Amino acid sequence: MTAERSPTLMEEFDIPVPDVSQLITEDDSPVDNILSERQMHLLPDALYASWKGPGDGRNFVALADVGIFVTTSHPPLVPDVLVALDVQLPENFMKKDQRSYFFWLYGKPPDVVIEVVSNREGGELGHKLQGYARLGVPYY
């Protein structure tokens, strides 16, 4: 049994989808170390392998090191892990306009963001914490 998908805010109010062709959605920059990389993928992999989701007919997305874009005029926040309930991956996530966590595509902030803090240089307790709060992310 699959629940019907609710329209996103973009669809509900007939707002045009932003042009993302000029956005940098992936920069191929390396992570700090092998341990951090393993930790970032551990939670999403475990969730997909063992969790059926938040309930009947409810989907979720768990992603590691994927940018969260609210607008095309601001740089993304990039958590080590994000989990969003009641959303699903686009059918063709290889297309540039579906490769990142675009607010206008998912219609909501992630429900949880996780940072694997290995040093103080990433801004996890400063600008990132404040940015996630402004986005309305309930759990950090």
pLDDT value of residue 80:
87
pTM of full prediction above 0.85: no
Q: What is the DSSP string of 5-64?
A: PPPPHHHHTTPPPPP-TTS-----PPPS-HHHHHHHHHHHHHHHHH---SSTT--EEEEE
Rounded to 5 degrees, φ, ψ at 62 are -125, 125
How would you write the pLDDT of the chain (140 residues) with one tens digit per residue? 445 656 665 567 666 776 766 665 555 555 556 666 777 788 899 999 999 888 888 999 999 989 999 888 888 898 989 999 999 988 888 887 888 999 888 999 999 999 876 556 555 666 888 899 999 999 98
